[in-house]
Amino acid sequence: MNHNRIYEVLNWASSFLKEHGKEERVAELLLRHHLQVTRAQLFARLRDEIDDRVKQAFIDDLKRHVYEHVPVQYVIGFEEFYGRSFLVNQEVLIPRPETEELVEGVLTRIQRLFPERETIDLVDVGTGSGAIAITLALENPALRVSTIDISLESLQVAKENARRFSAEVEFICGDLLQPFIQAGRKVDVVVSNPPYIPESDIAFLSPVVKNHEPLRALVGGKDGLHFYRRFMEELPVVLKARALVAFEVGAGQGEAVAQLLRETFHTAIVEVVFDMNGKDRMVYAEIKQ
């Protein structure tokens, strides 16, 4: 490829991605990463010549994404979430835009449920990159945020993200809510985006997800509801009398998870909320025991 101006390289890369059925926006993300520029700086420099070494490194990464299906977020090492750049690697699930809607829903409901409270205890279960817990801690200073993950490798990524953003979050290695049950700790809010893909659906995932993202963060048993059922045993032990539960769920699982919550908390106000793509994605339960 003899194109030496930035705009020529960008155009070539976009066409290359399109030909291989990949998202064209990846070209811009990768090129910005290799040139170490913002979006505005990239567009201001479109007619500049590109350094040969930078161009080659960019093309190598582009090919890894196209031929090996490596997610672009793992190539560049971060993903945007709620206006912040979170470090990601193959130990953690890449944060999704739909999960930003879960965070927004939690923040709104907390304001309504716990007005005037100086401190609100919240735990995020299965934190991965820490995107949910750290964002909540930064967006609402009244929240005292803890987070639990079964994977020490994931917690290392989450801790590094918290350090980068100076977020005060407590990190605990453990299985679901067991650390809180054993310590006799109670909380006002439980948030979780647990693994929820049924085992049989894994085969149909795109290779970008299936071959690179951690399966422990994706698979939720035979029907995808394994972790939600476990939560129903553990939530009653850790929730305070007035509490909020917020789950992200797989498309089509909203009503099943809502029913589990209604059966566990008879007086709860349970709602299924659809995401920007029109899929049932969030389930909230306001509990007054």
Annotated binding site: 126-130, 149, 193-196
What's the half-sphere exposure (Cβ side, CA atoms, 13 Å) at 194? 27
| Sheet hosting strand 269-274, strand order edge to edge | 169-173, 143-149, 120-125, 187-192, 239-248, 280-288, 269-274
CA dist 275 → 80, 123, 251, 281 (Å): 18, 23, 10, 6
Annotated binding residues for S-adenosyl-L-methionine: 126-130, 149, 193
- Asked whether 26 and 70 are in contact (CB, 8 A), the reply is no
Residue 270's φ and ψ, nearest 5 degrees, are: -110, 135
Q: End-to-end CA distance of the chain, in Å? A: 67
Mention every residue, 6+ apart, whose C-beta is less than 8 A from residue 209: 71, 218
Distance CA 273, CA 279 (A): 8
CB neighbours of residue 188 within 10 Å: 22
Q: Exposed/middle/buried for 40, CB within 10 Å: 0-12, 13-18, 19+? A: exposed
Annotated binding residues for substrate: 193-196
CA dist 84 → 66, 81, 108, 186, 253 (Å): 26, 5, 19, 30, 29
CA dist 173 → 38, 144, 150 (Å): 36, 17, 5
